[in-house]
Every structure is written in C-alpha cells, then in structure tokens.
A and B are shown apart, each in its own frame.
Chain A
Amino acid sequence: MDQREKIISVKNLVKKFGDFEANKNLSFDVFKGEIFGFLGANGAGKTTAIKILCGLSSPTSGEISVAGFDAYHETEKIKKNIGYMSQKFSLYSDLTVKENIRFYGGIYGLSRDTIKRKTKDLLEKLNFSEHAGSLISSIPLGWKQKLAFSIAVFHEPKIVFLDEPTGGVDPITRRQFWDLIYETAHTGITVFVTTHYMDEAEYCNRVCIMVDGRIDALDTPENLKKQFGADNMDEVFVRLARAEKK
C-alpha cells in the first residue's frame, strides 16, 4: 500500500491559536485516488486541519505537503490543484446552472472553449441539459449537491475536499451522491471527505478519527471494526469517545 503515490503528506502538524492547541501533532498520508474519510465531533480540530490543507491558514509547525506543494509558501499553487465543496453547496442562487459552471470554471482559468465543451458533457452526464438555464434557487437540494460537487471537480483538480457534503440530504440522494464520489475517485482524483454520518464512513477507503485535536485511529473501516471489536463504525466511534472520557 505504501508504494502508492502520496498526494497529501502531513508530519507533526501543530496549529495553535494563542494558548489553545487545535491540532496536536497530526501525522498522516493520503494516497492518490483514495477516498479518505476525516471524522470527528465538532471542535475536534477537523476544520482547522482542512483549512491548513487548503492553504487558507498557516500551520504553527510541522511538515505539510499537498499535491506536491509546501503548505507554508506555495499556497497559491495548492489552491490551483484542489477543489472544494462545503456543506452549504456554495452555488449562486440568483445565477443559472450554466452561469454557475461558467463562473467557477472561469476563476480556475479554464478557457472559454474548454468550459463550453465540458459544460455540455457535464449537463448530459447529470441529465441536466434541459435545466441549464434554470436559476439555482429553483432546483431541488439533491441536484444542487450534485452540481456543487461536479463544479468542485470541474477543473480536474488532484484532490477534492468535501466538507460535510451530505448535510440535510435524504438517504437515497446521499447514496447517489456517493456513487458520484466513487466515479470521481476512479478517474484518479483523490477525495478527502469529512462527515458526521458514521454509515458514510464505511464507504471510505480509509478513515481517520480525530478526538480533541489528536488522531485517535487511522485505518480501513474493516480493520478499525476488528480492532475495536465493533459491528459498525458508529460503535467504533462511541468506543473511542468513551475511552477519551476515562
């Protein structure tokens, strides 16, 4: 497994806000084409870590490289090579489907022809062609979610960060959404996903669980279940949290 290409490499990452240590000495690697789940309760330090990986915030110390670029000095290059989707889906509701795609394609510097060609392909793939001119505010939540994801990978980034991408969506749509994620991972794009839903953690290739600013567990879902003697990821998580309290 370790022969695969490392796309994210984090060694001894520490991030402090004054006296508060949000990330306490994190170390992990993410490999190319992997679906990497990043789990943890609110306030466990997930968001802080993602911000650093996306080049929005500087680490206090540690060696971090994302897509081959240094997280201290090469944040601009990192930004060009990643995609990002937040739990709010982040589409402009007063613009049409097509205008949103064109705008986000445009800020990543894609040429007009490329955008046109890829937009057509994308709309066909999602069966959206007839809604190309609809305002975002008029389309259902599930579609917005798919569209937001497709836009996040529109410029063919090396890594896509999904920050709780399935919030507020029904189970069927969530399942469909994960199909989309698998498809993307098959094309070689690495998927870095945070989630609250423990059943979703099972879909990941590997899962990293953060508790209180530290990584408490990092392995495949199968191994974690074995290790903690649990039937599902939910139990794994509960046991970890209990261990923490003791």
Chain B
Amino acid sequence: MKTFINFVKKEFRHIFRDVRSMVILFGMPIAQILIFGYVVTNEVKDAKIAVLDLSKDEMTVEITNKLTSSGYFLLVDNFKSEDEIELAFRKGEIQEAIIFEPGFAKKFVKDGKAEVRIINDASDANTANMLANYTSAIIMNYSFAESGVNGASGQIIAQTRMQFNQDLKGAYMFVPGTMALILMLISAMMTSISITREKEMGTMEVLLVSPLRPVQIIVGKVIPYFLLSFVNAISILLLGFFVFGLPVNGPLALLLAESMLFITMALSLGIFISTIAKSMQVAMFISMFSLLLPTMLLSGFIFPIENMPQILQWVCHAIPPKYFIVIIKNIMLKGTGFEYVWFETLVLFGFTVFFIVMSVFKFKTRLE
C-alpha cells in the first residue's frame, strides 16, 4: 500500500509540473464552458431589422412596436424604397427586413387578410430561419388578437410552451454537452498519453520489472485523473449554475454518481487506447479523432441525432457521451430520478466493462 501511495504521489507530481497538462486540466473546461455558453448561442437577441412601411397606418405601427419591444429585434432603419433593402443587406447593416403592403389596415379590416413580407439574410441559414419564425409568430399573435376584436371567429390559437427550458437558453444545451466533452477528453486523452509516455521513456519496463503489479501501475496512473476529472465535473456544474442559471432539478447525488461512472468509462477507454498506441503522438491522434470529433458531432451535443441519416444514427448509438448527455439532461432539466435513466446507465456500465476486458486482453497478449 505504501509503495502504491508513493506511485500516486509521483503521478500528481508529473501533472502539476507540466504546464500543458495544467492548462488542459483547468483552463480548458472553464474556457469551453464560457465559449459555448456565450459565443456559440442559438438565442435571438437584438437582431437588427429594418422596416419598409408602405402603409403607415395604426396597424403597421403597432406591429412594428410589438416587434421591437419583444427584445428579440432592434429597429435600425425605416426604409422608403425597396432598393434600400438590397443595399442594407449587402452592407450587412440588417439581418431582416419587413415590408408592409400599401393599405395594410384597410385590407385587413375589409378582406380579413393583409400581406407582410419578411426578408432574411440567409447567408447564415440557421439564424435567418429562427428570425423569420420569431417574426411571423409575433405577427400571427397580433393578427389573432385583432381578428378577435373585429368579430371574426373560428380562429385556432396554438399556444406553445417550451417545457424544461422555457426561455430556450443555449446554456441548457451546451453545458451538459461540454461536460461530456471535457470529461471524455481529460479522462481518456490524458491517461492514454500519460501511460504511453511511460512506454516511450522506457520507464514502463522498469516499473514492470519492479515488485509493483501491473494492476497497481494502471490504477495508480488513473487515480489522479479520476480525482481531477471529478473536480472538473463539479466546477462545470457550479459554473453552469452561477453563470448561466442552469438548475439541477433532480437528485444531485445521482448526478454525481453518474458523472463518476462516465469518468470511469472514459478512463478505461484511455487505458484501452494506451494498449493500442505505441507512442504519445499516436495516442493523442487516436484520442482526438475517436473522441473529440464524434463527441462534438455525433453525440447529440450540437446536432440532433433524429435528423441524421439512418446509418449515422447507428453510429451515434455506439458513442458513449450520447448516453451521458441524455442522463444529465434528464436529471438536471427534467428532474427525473434513476428510474428514467437506468438504461443509459447500464449502457455506460457496459462500455466500461468492455474497455477494461479489452485492455486486459491486449495487455496479456503483448506480454506473452
């Protein structure tokens, strides 16, 4: 036991003495959370719009007011002709233009319908789509309210409610995803690198010849990263809570336990990578390509899995972070307990066992 503690101490020394490790361990999580939370956001706020009002009646003014007071839009200009629109788009001064046809209010009262055109800068397709949706929703609301006043009946009013994330905050999406990404990277990449480094420096040979058992060596290498990853998980949750107001609606203990399971899974993956990789470069390369990109793209972190082609969806099911993201979203946002995440938990557990068995198998055949 004493020899083992001695070993773990040495591992901590390696980590704390290496500036790069420290940056990856502690700088990256904070930077990523802040970047994903603030910069990469789907929220609409103060989008620049301009209005070409060919009618100028009380109705168009009221609609314009509704739009600007919603907080989503900022009116930067009132145009006089359609030519100005084209130019403003090209200059990038506006993201959306709204055109009311002449005699808007008159037509609406007389025919029960009037036309408004919404033009968007679709060089950024996602934002354009979102802005158009927001705008038409506001205008629809207004028209329903108005037609009620004017006696027309039989309108169906759809009321939407965004369950579990009423304000559609981006942080609710990104914090769980970033947590999965960071734990995966730190645990798997750092352990695989630190084990292959011993191989590369030749110290692994000496360790194997020493009375330390291989299990002790591996566990000793993994323990520091387990602790540090766990500290990271907690700091991400704290950041999420205090900076972005992300709640933990479900049981906190379950959330922490699931995080530990995920960390263990990532560590065993890291060990597995180190049994395949011969050098640090290879370990890094494998970690980057097999962990970073799939976790970002295929885990449902950024792009919804349901929209992917069938083949890619199958691939997604083989990606462990996907399950972890489902688990933490369930616990944090929906506030559900273990009974709703037992399947995902079981899958993560299965991955862990799989990687450990594969590592032991690989390790044995190499020694033979």
A residues in contact (CB < 8 Å) with B: 17, 54-58, 76, 79-80, 82, 84-95, 99, 102-104, 106-109, 161
Report how far A54 CA is from B2 CA in the complex, Å: 23
Contact with A along B187-212 (1 / 0, CB 8 A): 00000000000000111011111111
Cβ of B18 under 8 Å from chain A: yes
Report how far A195 CA is from B70 CA in the complex, Å: 81
If A76-B211, A107-B212 touch, does A90 touch B203 (CB 8 Å cutoff)?
A: yes
If A79-B209, A103-B10, A109-B211 touch, does A94 touch B3 (CB 8 Å cutoff)?
A: no
In the complex, the answer to whether A107 meets B13 with C-beta atoms within 8 Å is no
Q: Which of B3, B18, B203, B209 has the most CB of A within 10 A?
A: B209
Report how far A85 CA is from B210 CA in the complex, Å: 11
Contacts of B209 in A (CB 8 A): 54-56, 79, 82, 84, 161
Select A92's contact among B3, B6, B14, B211, beta carbons within 8 Å: B14
Cβ of B367 under 8 Å from chain A: yes
Cβ of B82 under 8 Å from chain A: no
If A82-B209, A84-B209 touch, does A107 touch B3 (CB 8 Å cutoff)?
A: yes
Cβ of B7 under 8 Å from chain A: yes
The 8 lowest CB-CB distance pairs between A and B, nearest first, are A88-B202, A106-B6, A84-B209, A90-B206, A90-B202, A90-B203, A79-B211, A80-B211
Nearest residue, chain A, Cβ from B217 = A107
Can you name 20 A-B pairs with beta carbons within 8 Å?
Answer: A54-B209, A56-B367, A79-B209, A79-B211, A84-B206, A86-B202, A89-B202, A90-B201, A92-B203, A93-B201, A99-B10, A99-B13, A103-B10, A104-B206, A106-B3, A107-B6, A107-B207, A107-B210, A107-B212, A161-B209
Contacts of B6 in A (CB 8 A): 102-103, 106-107
Contacts of B203 in A (CB 8 A): 90-92
How many Å from the CB of B5 to the closest CB on chain A? 9
Contact with A along B210-224 (1 / 0, CB 8 A): 111100000000000
B residues in contact (CB < 8 Å) with A: 2-3, 6-7, 10, 13-14, 17-18, 201-203, 205-213, 367-368
Contacts of A91 in B (CB 8 A): 203
Contacts of B3 in A (CB 8 A): 106-109
Q: Which of B18, B202, B207, B212 has the most CB of A within 10 A?
A: B202
Report how far A100 CA is from B211 CA in the complex, Å: 17
In the complex, the answer to whether B201 meets A92 with C-beta atoms within 8 Å is yes
Nearest residue, chain B, Cβ from A94 = B17
In the complex, the answer to whether A84 meets B205 with C-beta atoms within 8 Å is yes
In the complex, the answer to whether B211 meets A95 with C-beta atoms within 8 Å is no
How many Å from the CB of A69 to the closest CB on chain B? 13
In the complex, the answer to whether B202 meets A92 with C-beta atoms within 8 Å is no
Report how far A55 CA is from B367 CA in the complex, Å: 11
Contacts of A80 in B (CB 8 A): 211
Report how far A57 CA is from B211 CA in the complex, Å: 14
Known A-B contacts: A95-B10, A99-B13. Give 19 more (CB < 8 A).
A56-B208, A56-B209, A56-B367, A57-B368, A79-B211, A84-B210, A85-B206, A86-B205, A89-B202, A90-B203, A90-B206, A93-B201, A94-B13, A94-B14, A94-B17, A95-B13, A104-B210, A107-B3, A109-B211
Nearest residue, chain A, Cβ from B203 = A90
Nearest residue, chain A, Cβ from B205 = A86
In the complex, the answer to whether A88 meets B7 with C-beta atoms within 8 Å is no
In the complex, the answer to whether B2 meets A106 with C-beta atoms within 8 Å is yes
Report how far A103 CA is from B208 CA in the complex, Å: 14
